[in-house]
Amino acid sequence: MRAATYSAYAADNSRLSVGEVLDPKVGPGQVLIEVRAAGVNPVDWKVMAGGLDGMMDAVFPVIPGWDVAGVVRGAGPDTPEFGAGDEVMAYARKDVIQAGTFAQFVTVSARDVARKPAALDWAQAGGLPLAGLTALRCLEALDVGPRDSLLVHAAAGGVGSMAVQIARARGARVIGTASERNHDYVRSLGAEPVTYGDGLADRVRALAPEGVTTVLDGHGGQLSVTLAVLAEGGRHVSIADPEAARQGGRWIWVRPDGAKLAELADLVDEGALTVEVAQTFPLAEVAAAFDLSRTGRMRGKLVIVP
């Protein structure tokens, strides 16, 4: 099969290439998915740069990618949950960095797989799992509900945009930081937009004079603002700043979870959640997708379409 691979850690795309590799083997409890779309996440190029070297082992050459949407083409022994032809999606992170989703086929544990909602096209479904599960885990950690006000840092990004929608579905008031060009988009998701940068804490306090009860930091580098705008007894989490855990909050690292992914699919079917796709790339242009992701300047998700 064709796949993107890198032969060693590198901070740039110098070790990244696309070519033929062996087809994956399908073990007990696994499904073989023909990849129709695979979301690009900042973690993909950060892992390629060695960002998780002290946490996870890598076996080179590595196929990057942790998001997938596609069609089941086979299953290992004792895997009754799925059959050939099922349209599915998954957050496909494994215990070892090696066999990712930027390929024509990938094997995934059945427990991490959910059925693709009909309301999403392939690119949208491929961009949902990691960002959607991260947003859901953050909101569950914050216990966000109808009595809460939530500040989302980077509300126009992949995780932020989904967090806004899920929080609104839970009845919370949401304030979201974004560049001015994305204010209409953030507003369309149900949040009150504020411009990030100098004076952000004052702008948030102008909207919520008593402070907000919860904060989700999807960007990093925002801890001082978070602490400045939290109401007494407020809760905060970050997906980008471990220091949050040392300042009364939590640092969130999402787990693969098919059951939770099915909950997100239900929200999609109910019309409460959708996925904004900024741009799609063929498999041969993974490097270009990584370059764009590194800028941090897109709205929504980047997706590889093999």
Kindly state whether residues 139 and 123 are assigned to the same domain: no
- Is residue 264 domain-resident? no
Residues 51 and 115 in one domain: yes
Provide the pLDDT confidence category of residue 70 given band limits of 50, 70 and 90: very high
> What's the count of helices (H) and strands (E) in the chain, helices before strands?
9, 17
Residue 193 pLDDT? 98
Q: Is residue 268 part of a domain?
A: no
Q: Give residue 296's pLDDT.
A: 86
173 Cβ contact partners less than 8 Å away, ≥ 6 residues apart: 148, 149, 150, 192
Look at residue 261 and tell me if it is in a domain.
no
Q: How does pLDDT run across 117-167, given as a tens digit for each residue? A: 999 999 999 999 999 999 999 999 999 999 999 999 999 999 999 999 999
Q: Give the pLDDT score at 18.
A: 98
- Find the CATH number of the domain harbouring 217: 3.40.50.720
One domain for residues 146 and 209: yes
**pTM value?**
0.97
Indicate whether 30 pLDDT > 90: yes
Q: Mean pLDDT, to the nearest integer, of 35-59?
A: 96
The string of DSSP codes covering 89-103 is: EEE---SSEEE-SSB
Residue 257, in any domain of the structure: no
Please state at what angle helix 158-169 crosses helix 129-142, rounded to 10 degrees.
Answer: 50
Q: Which residue has the tokens 């790339």?
A: 281
Residue 282 structural domain: 2-128+275-304
CA distance 277 to 213: 30
* pLDDT at residue 46, as a whole number: 97
In the chain, how many domains are there?
Answer: 2
Query: 174 and 207 share a domain?
Result: yes
59 in a domain, yes or no? Answer: yes
Instruction: Lowest mean pLDDT of 39-43, 177-181, 272-276, 298-302, name the range.
Output: 298-302
Averaged pLDDT of the chain: 97
What pLDDT sits at residue 101? Answer: 98
